[in-house]
Amino acid sequence: MKAFRLPLLFAGAMLFLFTACNKEDETPGMDDSPVELEATYDDTFEEVDAIVDAAMTYFNEGGRVAEEEVDELIRCGIRTHDYENKTITIDFGDGCIGWGGRIRKGKIIIAYTDRKFVPGSIWITTFEDFYVNDIKVEGLRTCTNVSVSIEDNPSFNIMLEGGKLTWPDGTFAEREANHTRTWIRMGSPLRDEITLIGSASGVNRRGVSYTVTIVSMLRFKRACWATRIFIPVEGVKLIKREGQPDVLIDYGDGTCDSLVTVTINGVSREVDLRKWGF
């Protein structure tokens, strides 16, 4: 009997630990899913906006930029411009490896009324079988230049309608959003910054309704793109979920890193978004 007692005790202890871990993971509000979802949306749509900016800049210059000088975000795509109908298409085909080692597939289509820096101009971005690293991106993104004059730091109202991200396992998250994005010029485009205010709502991958409010202005830094940081590096978001505790995400002090501080039920902890590839 003694020969079997230690293995049985060990097995029982392991079963206890396994069960305890599972219970902890299932505790409402204690998982990382809202943090991962926000990082995915920030990362994906900030990249989409950067691709759109690069495409509009390219064609504003007449598309005559030397190939080696074309922005890396659009270099691997086929770029076309329908001048008569004011439509730009970036076609990444069946998949091409672009800036940051990411695989992009499908098309981004941009319909515009005027150049992006002209106050009152509007451009609408849609997607045709577009993927970033196997996550499908859908929705209609309307951007309106709300700047007072062309001399100001340009500001844009961005409305996302029917936003949807679908993962390879078939799960998806939906979102509607209304944000104001201000482009702060720093003398060199590589040092430019983006600020963001506004809110969003939707349904997460678990079918739970949520709202997101930016309670302290978010800041993105183009200098951080060199290290593949597309997420905010400063600012705070408040996430409210149906039937679950609120989640506060603090993006830090402006340092180019993937660390955020997450607070749930008064308990704070640091989370490294790199574990999800950000």
pLDDT tens string 57-75: 888 766 556 566 688 888 8
Which residues, in sequence order, are CB contacts of 133 under 8 Å at separation 6+? 102, 103, 277
Q: What is the pLDDT of residue 198?
A: 97
| Residue 127: HSE in the Cβ half-sphere, 13 Å Cα cutoff | 25
**Predicted local distance difference test score (pLDDT) of residue 15:** 37
Q: What is the pLDDT of residues 149-177, one digit of tens each?
A: 888 889 999 999 999 999 999 999 999 99
Asked whether residue 222 carries a pLDDT value surpassing 80, the answer given is yes
pLDDT above 70 (res 260): yes
Question: Residue 16 burial by CB count (10 A; 0-12/13-18/19+): exposed, middle or buried?
Answer: exposed
Residue type, 147: S
Residue located via tokens 């978010």: 218
Looking at every residue in the chain, the average pLDDT score rounds to 85
pTM to 2 decimals? 0.82
Query: Residue 29 has what pLDDT?
Result: 42
Measured CA to CA, the distance from residue 234 to residue 127 in angstroms comes to: 29
Q: How confident is the model at residue 7 (pLDDT cuts 50, 70, 90)?
A: very low
For 26-62, give one letter per residue: b (16+ CB within 10 A) or e: eeeeeebebbbbbbbbbbbbbbbbbbbbbbbbbbeee
DSSP 3-state assignment of 129?
strand
